[in-house]
Amino acid sequence: MKRFSSAIAGGVAGTAVMSLLLLLLEVETRSALEIFYVIARFIGTPDDPAVGFALFSVAGTVAWPLLFLALEPYLPRGPDPAARGVVFASILWLPFVITGRGDIGGPLLVFFGAYTLFAHWAYGFTLGAVYGRLFRRA
């Protein structure tokens, strides 16, 4: 499989993993975080969770995988694409957690930060692992 399609497949797999983790977060917090509101707030439309969901889907399956393709040779932790994916996802997490936390504070903010970092690592690992596996076969 070619690099581009391998990265998109990795993005689809990573987005599926991250979606499951974020769904578990919503269930565990009884929707106190409203993650798609958080994503919508990230781009400046805080009252539209449909925009948040659309952004999450497009960014996770297309935009971030293409950016990963461009940056992957320069990321540390190589040559393993899965390890580089974790580094890449950590870079994505930082602006997300800073701008998306909204009004939450205290222990919930610590939980939000730790859990979303874990979810981003799972996304990056899956993105890189699927990309690396499919691209090697080509």
Q: Residue 41: its pLDDT value, please?
A: 76
Q: Helix, strand, coil: what percent of the chain each, to 5?
A: 80, 0, 20
Give how many domains the chain has, as a whole number: 1
Asked whether the whole model's pTM tops 0.85, one would answer yes
pLDDT-flagged residues of the chain (< 50): none
Q: What is the pLDDT of residue 45?
A: 79
Q: What is the pLDDT of residue 81?
A: 94
CB-based burial of residue 52 (10 Å sphere; 0-12 exposed, 13-18 middle, 19+ buried)? buried
Q: What is the pLDDT of residues 4-30, one digit of tens each?
A: 999 999 999 999 999 999 889 888 877
State the residue range of the domain holding 18: 1-137
Q: The tokens of 96 are what? A: 């997300």
